[in-house]
């Protein structure tokens, strides 16, 4: 339980760094362009594509953040041996419902495919945010693997008494 909380908290901190630092750097013909995660999100922000911007932002930033914070909120008091916080049950239910929709790890695979596509066109290098995001994905997957849904529900119920 403690391990899951620690990993989820780590992932939250990493997410902040990943959003604001430059993600990838491209240079072609003497021109250099840096883009952050936010730029990738805003790529669809012109005209008809606007709804897709919100979708991508939700899938790779907003939903993972909500999911991680609800996990921390629901599990941290239990990891410390306290009674669960108010609405911990609702929070954990939200975390469960969001699980299929938080797609940060898929985004990483997308980045590698994009790299191969651009390789012929220009020179690419990774920014600091790429590495934080990669670690973030790793940490999220680890905490998901440690978490047993049924055990968490059981503990939540027992501690509430």
- The distance of closest approach from Cβ of residue 28 to other proteins in the complex, given in angstroms and rounded to an integer, is 5
Of 9 and 25, CB closest to other proteins:
25
Of 81 and 113, CB closest to other proteins:
113
Cα within 13 Å of Cα(1), Cβ side: 18
- The distance of closest approach from Cβ of residue 23 to other proteins in the complex, given in angstroms and rounded to an integer, is 8
Burial of 80-94, coded b for 16+ CB within 10 Å and e otherwise, reads eeeebeeebeebbeb
Instruction: Give the binding site for other proteins (CB under 8 A).
Output: 24, 26, 28-29, 31, 33, 35, 39-44, 48-49, 51-52, 55-56, 59-60, 89-90, 92-93, 96, 100-101, 103, 106-107, 109-114, 116-122, 149-150, 153, 156-157
Burial of 107 (0-12, 13-18, 19+ CB in 10 A): middle
C-alpha separations of 49 from 17, 57, 115, 117, 160 in Å? 27, 13, 23, 22, 46
Rg (CA), the chain: 18
With contact defined as beta carbons under 8 Å apart, do 144 and 5 qualify?
Answer: no
Of 81 and 150, CB closest to other proteins:
150
- The distance of closest approach from Cβ of residue 64 to other proteins in the complex, given in angstroms and rounded to an integer, is 13
C-alpha separations of 101 from 76, 77, 158 in Å? 23, 26, 29
- The distance of closest approach from Cβ of residue 102 to other proteins in the complex, given in angstroms and rounded to an integer, is 9
Of 62 and 111, CB closest to other proteins:
111
- The distance of closest approach from Cβ of residue 39 to other proteins in the complex, given in angstroms and rounded to an integer, is 4
Of 9 and 42, CB closest to other proteins:
42
């Amino acid at each position: 339980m403690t391990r899951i909380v620690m990993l989820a908290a780590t992932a939250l901190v990493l997410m902040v760094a990943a959003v604001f630092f430059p993600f990838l750097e491209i240079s072609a013909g003497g021109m250099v362009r840096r883009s952050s995660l936010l730029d990738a999100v805003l790529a669809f922000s012109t005209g008809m594509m606007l709804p897709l911007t919100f979708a991508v932002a939700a899938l790779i930033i907003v939903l993972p953040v909500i999911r991680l914070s609800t996990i921390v909120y629901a599990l941290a008091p239990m990891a410390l041996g306290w009674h669960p916080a108010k609405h911990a049950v609702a929070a954990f239910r939200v975390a469960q419902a969001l699980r299929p929709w938080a797609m940060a790890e898929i985004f990483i695979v997308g980045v590698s495919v994009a790299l191969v596509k651009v390789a012929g066109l220009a020179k690419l290098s990774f920014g600091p945010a790429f590495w934080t995001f990669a670690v973030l994905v790793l940490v999220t997957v680890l905490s998901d693997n440690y978490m047993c849904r049924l055990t968490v529900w059981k503990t939540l119920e027992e501690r509430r008494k």
